[in-house]
Structures are given as structure tokens and as C-alpha cells.
Amino acid sequence: MCQRIPDLHDEVGLFAAQIAALIDEIVPELSQAVGVGREAVARLLCTVGENPER
């Protein structure tokens, strides 16, 4: 288990970088807004994707 922790940490970093790149590509104006983190933008995109009529 202890050997797996560093691998998982690296994997989280990789996924975070991929999510950041997608957000920058899809909605760059939101990713550059002051006080709006990438996690919040990702959640907004998921919500909008699930409810496009909003």
C-alpha cells in the first residue's frame, strides 16, 4: 500500500493537468477569471452538460 501512494499522487497530478488543459480550451474566459478555480469551472461544466436547458 505504501508503495502505491506515490503512484496515485502522480496520477492525480496528471489528471489535474489534463482537466486544466481541457478547461483552458473549452472556456478560457472562466479559467482566467479572478477567484474562480478550475475545480469550480469543472463542476459548472458538468452541471451544464447534464442540464443543457439551464
- DSSP 3-state of 41: helix
pLDDT digits (tens, 9 = 90+) for 9-43: 999 999 999 999 999 898 888 878 888 888 899 88
Cα separations in angstroms, 7 against 11, 15, 43: 6, 12, 25
pTM of this prediction? 0.69
Domain definitions of the chain by residue range: 4-50
Tally Cβ neighbours within 10 Å of residue 22.
15
- Set of cell numbers at residue 1: 500500500
Q: How far apart are CA 48 and CA 24, in angstroms?
A: 17
